[in-house]
Structure 1
Amino acid sequence: MKNSNWIRKNWLLVAGISFTGIHLGTYFIQRAAKQSVKSQPEGKQKSLNNELK
């Protein structure tokens, strides 16, 4: 029962850490995705760009 009491008292801290963690996680996922696109062969990347237009 003590854990739930601590979370109730510090809900703002828990929410802030969760918010920060989620945004850092999505930032690193996007960064990894961009790196994988850059590392693709040039010809394949051009064909992907033409399909998007």
Structure 2
Amino acid sequence: VVVTGIGVVAPNGCGLKSYAEALRGGVSGIRNFPRLADLKFGCTVGGIPQGV
């Protein structure tokens, strides 16, 4: 989560309204990225903000 001073940029919502709705709805922005295992990363989960 990045708090920019004027809004929120997070994997489960960009902008205060969509982020708050995601939080209230139990929506996680964290996903599994199997490709990271192929690249020998020790962790294969993460979150990428959409539409940024």
Which bin holds the TM-score, normalised by the shorter protein?
under 0.3
Which protein has greater RCO, CA pairs closer than 8 Å, 6+ apart?
Answer: 2
What TM-score results when the alignment is normalised by the length of structure 2? 0.28
What TM-score results when the alignment is normalised by the length of structure 1? 0.27
More strand by share: 2
Structure whose alpha-carbon radius of gyration is higher: 1
